[in-house]
Amino acid sequence: MKGDIRHAYVHVPFCRHRCGYCDFTLVAGRDDLFEDYYTALGVELKRLAQPIELDTLYLGGGTPSHLGPEGIKHLFEVLHDVLRPASAAEVTIEANPLDISEASVEAFHSCGINRVSLGVQSLNALTLSTLDRDHREDDVRRVMRLLLDSGFIVSVDLIIAAPKQTLDAASRDMEAITALGAQHVSVYCLTWEQGTAFWGKRARGTLMPVAEDIEHEMFELAIDRLSSSGYQQYEVSNFAQPEMMCRHNEAYWDCRPWEAFGPGAARFDGQNRITNIRSTSAWIKNLIAGKGVTGDVDAMTPEGAARERLVLGLRRRRGVDRISFFRQSGFQVDDLAKKPIQEWVAAGFADDDGDHVRLTRSGMLLSDSLWSAVL
């Protein structure tokens, strides 16, 4: 087996429908493409000369659980010839609460899946309706009990700063999810992406974002609620109970190489990021016809790669150790970002003891606005 790469991502582009805020690579209402997807994926997997033993495998989307129990089993039959999780591997599937049943649990177990990332977003009826989500609070409670009782690690995605969302509603979401026992929680501020339905509604004035100060209050509330419930904020948007960090994401943030398959999927060879074409139909058509599916190649310079490594490191609670960073990148932190770091420290956005640089709580809140000074 190939020994350099221990991580893989597989993109499953199918969904029930496209939510108004979503700009991910997906197709909705095209279940007729399932079989062609399996065929094309099998062809793409042949790009690898030999099987890979994996420490992490992540199935994202779209909504992989939309394939259904038998479809998920079929997917793993396709993957098994090339992508082989080790005995202690983390194997994650993203799921819609409405897709999960006893049959799903059986399929997950039979395929070696041990971690489920649930697209909950909220438990509040108004917020769910605004976000175009079909599930309701009772669905989430039922599914989380089923998954946790069945031995899965459960990660929950929550969205804050949704239109019409209140601080009280966001607080209740945090309290409910922690009470239900999720081992991992990802909290994302709603983003308004050009080309989405939300973007168009905002342009027409029919749907508006919450005020920036409310967004910051919600994020601070998330930190407080989750921290008081025993979760560690180990990255800007990610919180975990002890020893429950997402190992797959940590591989990304460590800049380890990974493989990726499926429409729009991006792989990393240690220096270059190669992204597949986004169109699901074009991806299928090209592979079945024996054509390539590379859409974009980001060939980073050593300095560019080091700058990206620095940003990814600063997004993590532990920050960046100067000696380790130089050993891994070949660049000194101060040669890349001395002035910005000094400015952040002066503004209270970062701490720098000479050995380590870490963002403060205030820096975490504003982190996305800081990176332009480094990249």
Instruction: Count the neighbouring beta carbons within 10 Å of the beta carbon of residue 227.
Output: 12
pLDDT, tens only, 243-269: 999 999 999 999 999 999 999 999 999
Distances 287 to 75, 83, 87, 238, 332 between C-alpha atoms, Å: 17, 19, 31, 35, 43
User: Torsion-angle region of residue 216: left (phi > 0), alpha (psi -120 to 50) or beta?
Assistant: alpha
**In the prediction, which pLDDT does 109 show?**
98
Residues of the chain with pLDDT under 70: 1-3
Per-residue exposure over 41-56, b if at least 16 CB sit within 10 Å of its own CB, e if not: bbebbeebeeebebbb
**In the prediction, which pLDDT does 105 show?**
98
CA atoms of 348 and 288, how far apart (whole Å): 55
- 232: β partners: 240
**In the prediction, which pLDDT does 2 show?**
43
**In the prediction, which pLDDT does 1 show?**
44
- 239: β partners: 185, 233
pTM: predicted TM-score of the whole model, two decimal places: 0.96
Domains of the chain: 7-253 (3.20.20.70), 303-373 (1.10.10.920)
**In the prediction, which pLDDT does 134 show?**
95
**In the prediction, which pLDDT does 4 show?**
86
Q: Counting every residue, how long is the chain? A: 375
pLDDT, tens only, 43-96: 999 999 899 999 999 999 999 999 999 999 999 999 998 999 999 999 999 999
